[in-house]
Chain A
Amino acid sequence: MRRRVGLAALDRRAQDSQTRSTHGATLRRTHQSELTTQLSVFQAALSTFSTQYSSEIRQNPKFRSEFARMCTTIGIDPLAASSNRPKEKGGSIWSELLGTQVNDFYFELAVKIVEVCRDTRSKNGGLISVTEVQSTLLKKDQSTGGGGTGLQISEDDIIRSVECLKPLGSGFEIIKIGKTNMIRSVPKELNKDQAKVLEVIQVLGFVTIGLLVDNLGWIAPRAQAVVDDLMAEAFLWVDEQEGETSYWAPCSL
């Protein structure tokens, strides 16, 4: 039988598409509510977990970094700046979950790190290893009578704290030279050559122009130019007392 074309067909088509879209919406809603439930269950679990272990999180650097890593893996930025969220909700997930304690921990640590970087800037030109910051903070803590008793700070904590300074555009950044994590507290980019020289210094303790020429295959003027730049930035100190002039980095002291 031949179907005749009539106006009713238009109606039917409209009806069909409406039904489909209604169905689609229902599906989406179900999905959404399922996800919402899952998320809230998960949040509750995370919240219970972090409340239960909040003292552990505060005191045990290893535990803290594992917890932070877990959060990162599942796509939660524990340190997401509070300004990104509506006022009434306030704070990052950590501050919601842990009553701002852990959050504050990192922000307070960040302030201390900034202090260390500033104090040592004239000495190292604004480049300092994370381990040096760590030991300086430890010394400070001890000299002030161990104000934060039992509050150990790991390298991971320091790196995380420096990262939470990023939104401020303060120029604080973690850079990797060789295998060492360094904090650069001045807004100067290191180019490849400069990073290479610092890397060599980390291995050998110092460099000379001759060493750079022999080991990196650079021509002498290139080596000299890189070293001179690093000297001008106060990243390197010169020693002229023995044989060939050698260059040392106070940041790897």
Chain B
Amino acid sequence: MADKTLPAYFPEFYSFPPFYTRQPNASSWSSQLSQWRAFILSYARAHKIWRLNLVDAMDTDLFYNKSISRKLPLPTIREIISDLVASQNAEWLSPDKSIAYIYWRTPEDFASQIYSWIDETGQKGTVLTLLELTEGDNTTDKEWYGMDQAMLVKCLNVLVKKGQAQIFSVGDDKGVKVW
């Protein structure tokens, strides 16, 4: 029944029309919610989405299944993202709840990944620009490659709080030093 050409992270429910109507039954809704949560996170991961603009995303195949012409309505999207925010898998960027950071890994996870990469490559104590981290040739295979700069700062702040890093300005860019 499911479209065979879809990547594996598309849930079985993707081609199930009621998946796009918020279920009134509490137990069905909790199942629906957890499916959507998992799908949004893996979709964001596969597409390297850091900032999700809800209105724009409505028309992408994340929330819109053209083959069965079903679209998840905005209020439901907002409800699901709010649930992700509550579990720290997302963060509202604007008070009107139209854009959100999607953390398919928590900031803590990203922070520790970056920390161990810096450690393993012997770059402790050197200053790295944020661009080096997200666009550098050495990080192309890393999960944080291409990350939104503001989001990266949030992740690095986890290290700063632990006293493991310091962030400062380097010209127009920002730099980070880890020890």
Q: In terms of DSSP, what is the predominant structure of the interface of chain A? A: mixed
- How many residues from A make CB contacts under 8 Å with B? 18
For A237, list chain B residues within 8 Å (CB): 16, 18-19, 21, 23, 28, 32
In the complex, which of the residues B17, B30, B70 has the most CB atoms of chain A within 10 Å of its own CB atom? B17
Supposing A237-B16, A241-B70, A253-B13 touch, asked if A125 and B21 sit within 8 A by C-beta, the answer is: no
For the complex, give the distance between the alpha carbons of A247 and B23 in Å: 11
**A123 is an interface residue with CB less than 8 A from chain B:** yes
For A248, list chain B residues within 8 Å (CB): 16-18
**B27 is an interface residue with CB less than 8 A from chain A:** yes
B1-34 interface bits toward A, Cβ cutoff 8 Å, 1 = contact, 0 = none: 1000000000011001111110111011011101
A242/B69 in contact, CB under 8 A:
yes
A125/B27 in contact, CB under 8 A:
yes
B16/A234 in contact, CB under 8 A:
no
CB contact between A241 and one of B1, B17, B34 (< 8 Å): that residue = B17
For the complex, give the distance between the alpha carbons of A231 and B69 in Å: 23
B27/A234 in contact, CB under 8 A:
yes
**B71 is an interface residue with CB less than 8 A from chain A:** yes
Interface residues of A (CB under 8 A from B): 122-123, 125, 206, 231-232, 234, 237-242, 246-248, 250, 253
Interface residues of B (CB under 8 A from A): 1, 12-13, 16-21, 23-25, 27-28, 30-32, 34-35, 69-71
